[in-house]
Amino acid sequence: MANALGSASILCSLAVWVEAILHFVPGFPRYDPPFKRWAATLGVAIILSIVAATRGRRLWLLASLWPLATLLLLDYIVGT
């Protein structure tokens, strides 16, 4: 159960990065999600990794650093 939650956390974090990268691909349909949607997705990723750490290996707590760093970076870039 903990591995599934931790993996879901990583997938949520990857989804934000993939969405940001696809934004700059020429010919790809433009989709500009609001900052709140990205923040909510990263918040879910942080919560999932914390729950995974409490239910299983403590190593999943390190997985919460990636979405947290992404959230801080996006907050700095967007300037909200």
What does 10-31 look like in DSSP terms, one character per residue?
Answer: HHHHHHHHHHHHHHTSTTSPP-
| Amino acid type, 4 | A
Q: Name the residue range of residue 15's domain.
A: 2-78
pTM, rounded to two decimals: 0.80
Question: What domain count does the chain have?
Answer: 1
Query: Helix, strand or coil for residue 64?
Result: coil
Q: Within 13 Å and on the Cβ side, how many CA atoms surround 72?
A: 6
pLDDT at 80: 59
Q: Where are the alpha helices (DSSP H) in 34-80?
A: 35-55, 60-63, 65-78
| Tens digits of residue pLDDT in 11-58 | 988 988 888 888 788 888 877 778 888 889 889 998 988 898 888 888
